[in-house]
């Protein structure tokens, strides 16, 4: 069974924040060095795309392992 969950519901229930169009979000991934090299079906890409539909700005803070 596949359950669909809206990204704003996910953030609200897991992060205890109300997400709206005025929110800025920073996503951190220590393993991503070059985000342009990520596949379109990569979880990180999908997450960022979904966040962009409900947040004003979405930033990827990348690091190296």
For residue 4, pLDDT over 90 is answered with: no
For residue 2, pLDDT over 80 is answered with: no
Task: State whether residue 45 is helix, strand or coil.
Answer: helix
| pLDDT tens sequence across 9-50 | 888 888 877 777 888 999 999 888 888 899 999 999 999 999
Q: Where are the domains of the chain?
A: 20-62
DSSP state of 56: S
Q: Residue-wise over 37-65: b if at least 16 C-beta within 10 A, else e?
A: ebeeeeebeebbeebeebbeebebeeeee
Half-sphere exposure of 9 (CA within 13 A, CB side): 4
Structure confidence at residue 14 (pLDDT): 82
Give CA–CA dist 15/38, Å, rounded.
26
| pLDDT tens sequence across 45-55 | 999 999 998 89
């Amino acid at each position: 069974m596949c359950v669909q969950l809206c990204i704003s519901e996910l953030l609200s229930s897991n992060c205890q924040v109300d997400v709206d169009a005025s929110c800025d979000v920073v996503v951190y991934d220590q393993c991503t060095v070059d985000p342009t090299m990520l596949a379109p079906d990569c979880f990180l890409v999908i997450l960022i795309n979904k966040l962009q539909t409900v947040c004003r700005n979405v930033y990827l803070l990348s690091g190296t392992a």
